[in-house]
Structure 1
Amino acid sequence: MPYSFYLGDMQLPIAPSKLQLKINSNNRTATLINEGEINIIKLPGLTDISFEVLLPNMKYPFATYVDGFHKADYYLNILERLKTSLEPFQFIVTRTAPNGDYLFDTNIKVTLEDYTITEDADKYGQDVGVSIKLKQYKDYCTKVVSMRTTTTVNSKTTKVATVEQNRGSNKVISKTHIVKNGETLWSICQIELGDGSKYSKIAKLNSISNPNLIKVGQVIKLG
């Protein structure tokens, strides 16, 4: 089953052979007198994602180079930026059957928790291996209570509380579309952007030299 892995705008040149998603539990066990243990059901916790990826230092025929061949340091620099930017990004995995039919995808907003770079001549040769751990990210906000004093016509004073919400980051993550069977770049632009004639602009944004050659499972950036 062919895979395509995306970390933000970066597509990994060689898709990892194994992906693990752990949906964590927030359930709590309590003990009642004369009743024994009970399980208090809570909403699930954040998902942990882990995988290992090979970053090549030479051009392989089985690898995918969307915007041309780059050595391992190119991808390592992007990983460093994802870690130090203090911003979440989109993690996308698309899956297609051997005959090219679209199966399903994973599309989660995440943060880069940690990654380990390994150079092992026996295992990787001149290439570089990286173990990556991601964690699901959910937008949130905090509430601030402000107090103010007011005076009425009969000289009585009262205190009024105002609750304000501080929203999280307003940074907008680029909208994407995963190509399905039978779609063209024109039809995608018509549905997603309301204007099929924008296909040439979107092709340029995605470094697509021939707008007629898009494949099932490909992630198209729309802005």
Structure 2
Amino acid sequence: MAELNVEPKKNRPIWIWLVLALLALLAIIFLLRGCDDNDVDRDMDTDTTTATTAATTAGATTGGTTGAMDTDNRTATDADWDDIDRNAPVATYQEITDRDVTVRGNDEYAIYSVDETILFGTDSKEIRAEAAPKLKQVAQSLSQRYNDGQIRIYGYTDSKASKNYNEQLAEERAEAVRNWLTQNGNISADRITVHAVGEADPAATNQTAEGRQQNRRVEIVARRGN
């Protein structure tokens, strides 16, 4: 009877099992950390989205409010002056007797015009001494008829110099008139605003000396209070 030679089964070294167990442990740790990172990312994305949405909503709300306020301000201020007709009929005010002062308007507003040559010297922003009686009549009329209203002073020039120079000169002259009215005409400064138009809105042609003289002017516009 033949003999069967069976070799005994060899046991694997224990270190192999240790390595396999360590690798499995590392794999489990890696997977767990990956899940945690995903959760954190989702939380951060959610928080960021929520914050962005809130900020956008707040911005939209603020923007809407600001827009409404701008519209209200426009309605309450500038829009009230859009209906001023520079070619309104001449108004006769008994207190205005100086022929160098003209008044146009209606029951709601008045435009007092004084020729630039009466108020200022050439390229000057200093009010002439002889202009004082004319401005005094304007101040008295403003106090008598528009004591509770707002006043705007517009400065105009011809187009001979540069646009920037004309705007600066127009502003300085309008400022000089405002200062005179507040210091000598007893008109509160918070009722008066200055608007430098410069050469932008000519009353006549700039091609003739006569037209340029008409364009160099200061207009004092007053509205009745609400």
TM-score range, shorter chain: under 0.3
Which of these two proteins has the greater Rg computed from alpha carbons? Answer: 2
| Structure with a larger share of its residues in helix | 2
Larger strand share, 1 or 2: 1
Higher relative contact order (CA 8 A, sep 6+): 2
| Alignment TM-score, normalising by the size of structure 2 | 0.24
